């Protein structure tokens, strides 16, 4: 969905912000899937998600004036994308 289509689909600035963020996360899932094979277990998903979250934590523990807002956003998107990827890759496993 292009940004102009998102504007039409969204009824407010808040809805547009949610759609834009969701698209950023989806783009990261697609990018990650092009680089790495599917997750094979919940333990693997946990490790990948924890690694991404540790990068958020590293930014969080910096002094406030030394934090990089773009890096925080990027790592939060990576974390959300790996959560989404775990659901997509392991979805059939959850149903058993």
Q: What count of other Cβ atoms lies within 10 Å of the Cβ of residue 18?
A: 13
Both structure tokens of 26: 């989806």
- pLDDT number for residue 14: 83
Structural domains in the chain (count): 1
CB-based contacts of 28, cutoff 8 Å, min separation 6? 77, 78, 80, 81
Average pLDDT over residues 1-8: 55
Give 8-63 pLDDT, tens digit per residue: 555 688 888 899 999 999 999 999 999 999 999 999 999 999 999 999 999 999 99
Q: Is residue 73 pLDDT above 60, yes or no?
A: yes
Domain interval for residue 17: 3-94
Q: Is residue 70 pLDDT above 80, yes or no?
A: yes
Q: How confident is the model at residue 88 (pLDDT cuts 50, 70, 90)?
A: very high
């Amino acid at each position: 969905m292009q940004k102009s289509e998102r504007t039409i689909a969204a009824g407010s600035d808040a809805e547009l912000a949610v759609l834009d963020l969701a698209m950023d996360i989806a783009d990261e899932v697609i990018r990650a899937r092009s680089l790495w094979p599917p997750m094979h277990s919940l333990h693997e998903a946990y490790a990948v998600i924890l690694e991404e979250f540790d990068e958020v934590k590293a930014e969080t523990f910096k002094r406030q004036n030394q934090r990089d807002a773009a890096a925080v956003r990027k790592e939060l998107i990576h974390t959300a994308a790996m959560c989404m990827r775990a659901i997509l890759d392991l979805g059939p496993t959850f149903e058993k």
